[in-house]
Every structure is written in structure tokens, then in C-alpha cells.
Amino acid sequence: MEKIIILTIGMVFTGIMDAVAGEGGLLSTPLLILAGLPPKTAVASNKAIAMMGNIATCTGFIKGKKVRFKELKLIIPLMLIGTVIGIEILKAIPNSFMGKFVPAALVVLVFFIIFIKDTGLKEKKVSKSKLKNIVTMVALFGIGIYDGFYGAASGAFMSMTFMFVFGFDIIDSLATSRFLNLLICTVATIMLIPSGLLDIKIILIASAGRMVGGYFGSYIAMTKGAKFIKPIFLIAVIISIILMFFKYY
């Protein structure tokens, strides 16, 4: 019973952090493992929990008109195809491989967001080219694959892509990445149902906390603004790096 209470409270906090920093997956999967789930069951079940949490989060962001639907027309099908591939290789690819890649890549992201002072604080015009568009689509396709078979820190990758490539401010970036993640987690959950990796009881309990945190987190993000969110985003990414370095190196 104590584990259930801790899990529920932890998921409320996870939902808030996911809405304001896009890093909930790095907190929720360890919580599920601590609650007694095997690692792969935790990864799979977390996708269903994230789906429920993102429903609540996106409700707030959509009401606030922060999701940039116009830019998602080509991105959605590309990332969903990547997700399908990622789910198919979930059992074949060791998490340790991506575990080594993700913290190293996040170090680069932290460098940019710290030293480029205006990044994410306001919307910026960015230059466009065919090569840049191709590289961006390939990167998002890769994020879709990664989100399919693991997913932790994918919110950071999507948010940073929207900031650097499309010039979104950090609030619009987080809102748009949450909507994308909702679609990805929905597809992943449907595909994982026959696998037997979903713990329905834990999913229902954890989803309740995640949805409460996600709903209130979206309003915290919108009312406090980018200057409040950016330090939290940085702290979440840095904590992610430290946790993943300890785990995989």
C-alpha cells in the first residue's frame, strides 16, 4: 500500500514536470521499477501512463492555444512511422545503447540553451533551407523510433528541435512536443496490448496521479511564462544527464 501511495504522489509530480519541462519519462520509469515492475514492463506501461497524462496536459495547452498544429502536418506521419518501427525493435535493442547516447547528446543541448541566452524565451525567426529541412525530418524520424522503444528524454529532443529549427518559444515547444507525445504514446500503447507487457492495475493507479499533475502543470507553464520555465527545463535536463550517466556508464 505504501508503494502505491508513493507511486501516486510521485506521478503527480512527474505529470507537473512533464508539462513544464518535458522530462517526466525520466522520473516515471524509475518509479514504476521501484514499485516492483520488471524494467521492460515498466517501459511499456509508462507509455500508457504517459498517454493518459498527456491527455490532461494537452487539454490545458490546447485551451491556451499553445500547440502549433500548422507545423505538424508533415511531422506527425513521419514520427508515427518511426514509433511503429521503435515498438517493433523494443525487445531486440538493449536500452543500454541509447542510454549511452542520450546523456552525451543532452550535454550538447544544455550547452546551447545556456550559452544562447534568448533560446526559448521568445519566438525567433530562423533561416530555412532544403538541407536543414531534410536533416530536421531525419532527426524527428529518429526521435520517433527512440520514443517507440524507450522514450525517456524524448520530450527534451522534440522541444529543443522546435526551438532551434522552428524558432518556437519554450512554452509552444513544450506544448507541441506534448501533443506529439500523446499521439506517439497512443500508437505505442495500442501496439503493446498483445505483448502482455502492460500492467493494467499499475497503469490505472499511476495514470490518475499523472493526469492531475499534467493538467495543473500545463497551467503552471503558461501562467509563469518562459523565464520561469527555462531554469526548470535546464535543471530537468541536467538531472537527466546525471541519472543516465550513473545508470549507463
Q: Put residue 247 in one of left, alpha, beta given phi > 0 → left and psi -120 to 50 → alpha.
A: alpha
- The pLDDT of residue 56 is 87
Q: What is the mean pLDDT of the chain?
A: 81
In tens, the pLDDT along 107-118 reads 776 676 666 555
- The pLDDT of residue 238 is 77
Residue 43 CA neighbour count, 13 Å, CB half: 17
3-state secondary structure 160-212: HHHHHHHCCCHHHHHHHHHHHHHHHHHHHHHHHHHHCCCCHHHHHHHHHHHHH
Range of the domain at 103: 2-248
Separation of alpha carbons 115 and 192, rounded Å = 41
- The pLDDT of residue 76 is 93
In tens, the pLDDT along 40-94 reads 888 899 999 999 988 988 988 898 888 999 888 889 999 999 999 999 887 777 7
- The pLDDT of residue 99 is 61
- The pLDDT of residue 123 is 53
What pTM was computed for the model?
Answer: 0.78
The domain total for the chain is 1
- The pLDDT of residue 194 is 92
Positions in the chain short of pLDDT 50: 121
- The pLDDT of residue 122 is 55
Separation of alpha carbons 95 and 109, rounded Å = 21
Longest dimension (CA), the chain: 56
